[in-house]
Amino acid sequence: MNPTPHAIVTGGSRGIGRAIATSLGAAGFNVVINYNRNAAAADEAAKLVEAAGGRATIVQADVGSTEDHARLLATATDAFGPVTCLVNNAGVAPKVRADVLDMPEESYDFVMDTNLKGPFLLTQRVAKHMIETAPVGAGHGAFGGQSIVNISSISAYTAHVNRGEYSLSKAGMAMMTQVFAARLAEYGINVYEIRPGVIATDMTGGVKEKYDRLILQDERGITPIRRWGAPDDIAKAVRVLAEGALPFSTGEVINVDGGFHLKTL
Question: Which residues form the catalytic set?
Answer: 166
Q: Can you tell me the distance from the alpha carbon of 168 to that of 160, in angstroms, rounded to the nearest whole number?
A: 9
CB 173 within 8 A of CB 114: no
